[in-house]
Amino acid sequence: MQKISRIAVLTSGGDSPGMNAAIRSVSRTGFYHGLEVYGVMRGYQGLIENDMILMDNQRVSNIIQRGGTILKSMRSNDFMTPRGRRQALENLHSRGIQSLIVIGGDGTFTGAKIFMEEHDFPVVGIPGTIDNDLYGTDFTIGYDTAVNTVVEAVDKIRDTAGSHNRLFFIEVMGRDAGFIALRSGIATGAEDILIPERHTSIKELINKIKYDRRSNKTSGIILVSEGDDAGNAYEVAEKVNSQFQGYSTRVTVLGHIQRGGAPSCMDRVLASTLGYETVNAVLKNEQGVMVGKVNKEIVYTPFEKSIKHHRKVNAAMLEMARILSL
Ligand code: F6P
């Protein structure tokens, strides 16, 4: 077993609330075990450009409550090339770094997987994305905060919807995953929830809106996940309006407000736990896995299994949401 004394940590892809808590946890657990911890700036791009800082206790002070990421983040095109990845490897070797911890989502782990296959360099992942679309963890860091942001916003919009007898189409993030829409839809009592994992029939949607009308509802909220097959919230609203004029409608796109803000208690604790457990995994020479939490247990999932499309939306929750919105 290789004795680890120097590691690096980076954040990559879309930022998510709780990434700072994870950076703090990785750093402090590393310091406790006498490790040198490098913080890589701007994700894989910083690895290629050798943009790294030696972390110390002070750098990770007073960040557990902050959204965003102190290491900054980006999606690096250079890392998608063999040349970029070779340069990244050279920089890691030149600093004597023995293991890399990446905090991010499916794009981040896809990059890590290719890098490992090509260069046999140990990488371990921490799930950090608001989308919650990774297999091998019940929750990803940032998802809970994002959902709470959506719930707060939808509650406010409902006040206007109710006061003006309007039907609102509210678009939420999640790229091609409906986890944000489903959970926040249940929590806000949305009249319908459109997600990419299930085909959207405009006819059925209109039938539901008409049914609500007949049951004396005077306003409504339709949550539209950004990747829905019927289109974005504007397109869905237009399709509905062209066939049913029973409502005055409005569209709200919540956008990047969902990615920012102070992490919730749940995200801080999850990030702290996964950061701590990931350093423990690195010390045991684990590699090529994402460290997640499933049913309160720490679970290591190989990158190829954790990334996109392996995680299924809970059909029972969808059915429950439908019944509760009747
Ligand atoms: O993956 C996280 C995410 O917030 C998605 O939900 C969204 O589709 C995407 O990032 C937006 O990315 P960008 O920051 O490039 O606008």
Delimit the CATH 3.40.50.460 region(s) of the chain: 144-259
Delimit the CATH 3.40.50.450 region(s) of the chain: 6-142+263-308
For range 269-284, the mean pLDDT: 98
pLDDT, position 13: 97
C-beta of 105 in contact with ligand 1 (< 6 A): yes
pLDDT, position 140: 98
pLDDT, position 207: 98
pLDDT, position 56: 98
Which protein residue's CA is at the shortest distance from atom 9 of ligand 1?
175
pLDDT band at 167 (very low <50, low <70, confident <90, very high): very high
- Interval between CA 200 and ligand 1 midpoint (Å): 22
Q: What is the pLDDT of residues 151-164, one digit of tens each?
A: 999 999 999 999 99
SS3 breakdown of the chain: % helix, strand, coil, rounded to 5? 45, 20, 35
pLDDT at 8 over 90: yes
Mean pLDDT of the chain: 97
- Percentage of residues in the chain with pLDDT exceeding 70? 100
Q: Match domain 144-259 to its CATH number in 1.10.10.10, 3.90.76.10, 3.40.640.10, 3.40.50.460.
A: 3.40.50.460
End-to-end CA distance of the chain: 59
Rounded Cα gap, residues 18 and 68, in angstroms: 8
Rounded Cα gap, residues 189 and 206, in angstroms: 18
Q: What is the pLDDT of residues 86-145, one digit of tens each?
A: 999 999 999 999 999 999 999 999 999 999 999 999 999 999 999 999 999 999 999 999
Higher pLDDT, 24 or 176: 24
Which protein residue's CA is at the shortest distance from atom 4 of ligand 1?
14
pLDDT, position 60: 98
C-beta of 42 in contact with ligand 1 (< 6 A): no
pLDDT, position 311: 79
C-beta of 98 in contact with ligand 1 (< 6 A): no
Q: What is the pLDDT of residues 200-217, one digit of tens each?
A: 999 999 999 999 999 999
Rounded Cα gap, residues 85 and 92, in angstroms: 11
Q: How far is Cα of residue 12 from the mean position of the Cα atoms in its chain?
A: 11
Q: What is the pLDDT of residues 279-295, one digit of tens each?
A: 999 999 999 999 999 99
Helix or strand run (H / E) with residue 297? strand 297-302
What architecture is the 6-142+263-308 domain classified under in CATH? 3-Layer(aba) Sandwich (3.40)
Q: How are strands ordered across the β-sheet holding 192-194?
A: 192-194, 220-225, 166-172, 248-253
* Index of the ligand 1 atom closest to the CA of residue 130: 2
Q: What is the pLDDT of residues 16-64, one digit of tens each?
A: 999 999 999 999 999 999 999 999 999 999 999 999 999 999 999 999 9
pLDDT, position 313: 87
Which protein residue's CA is at the shortest distance from atom 8 of ligand 1?
175
- Interval between CA 14 and ligand 1 midpoint (Å): 6
- Interval between CA 175 and ligand 1 midpoint (Å): 6
Pairing of strands 52-54, 6-11: unpaired
What pTM was computed for the model? Answer: 0.97
For range 181-210, the mean pLDDT: 97
pLDDT, position 135: 96
- Percentage of residues in the chain with pLDDT exceeding 90? 97
